[in-house]
Amino acid sequence: MTDSELDLVYTRLCKTMTELGEAHSPLFLARFALLAIERIGDADTALRLVDDAHHGMVCAAPPDATGPGSAAAQQ
């Protein structure tokens, strides 16, 4: 996939979530993830992607977050 194609897909994803509204976005993303996992067709690849996405979220947490590794959790 080219950078241009990636941008096209990501833009469609974002516009779709905007159209559905904040309340429906989590369900849409869950459905999208299940469809993508099925299309990937390989459990090891899908599990690595889940881990990669999780790692990105943990690292992106703001310093005042209350998750593991946060300043609040370490007090």
- Total-model pTM: 0.71
71 domain residue, yes or no: no
pLDDT at 58 (0 to 100): 74
Q: Write out pLDDT tens, residues 34-71.
A: 999 999 999 999 999 999 999 988 776 666 656 555 55
34 domain residue, yes or no: yes
Mean pLDDT of 26-30: 97
What range defines the domain where residue 20 resides? 3-60
42 domain residue, yes or no: yes
pLDDT at 68 (0 to 100): 59
Q: Are the CB atoms for 36 and 42 separated by under 8 Å?
A: no
pLDDT at 41 (0 to 100): 97
Give the span between the Cα atoms of 40 and 30, in whole angstroms: 15
Mean pLDDT of 5-21: 98
Region label for 21, one of left (φ > 0), alpha (ψ between -120 and 50) or beta (otherwise): left
DSSP 8-state code for residue 11: H
Give the span between the Cα atoms of 37 and 46, in whole angstroms: 6
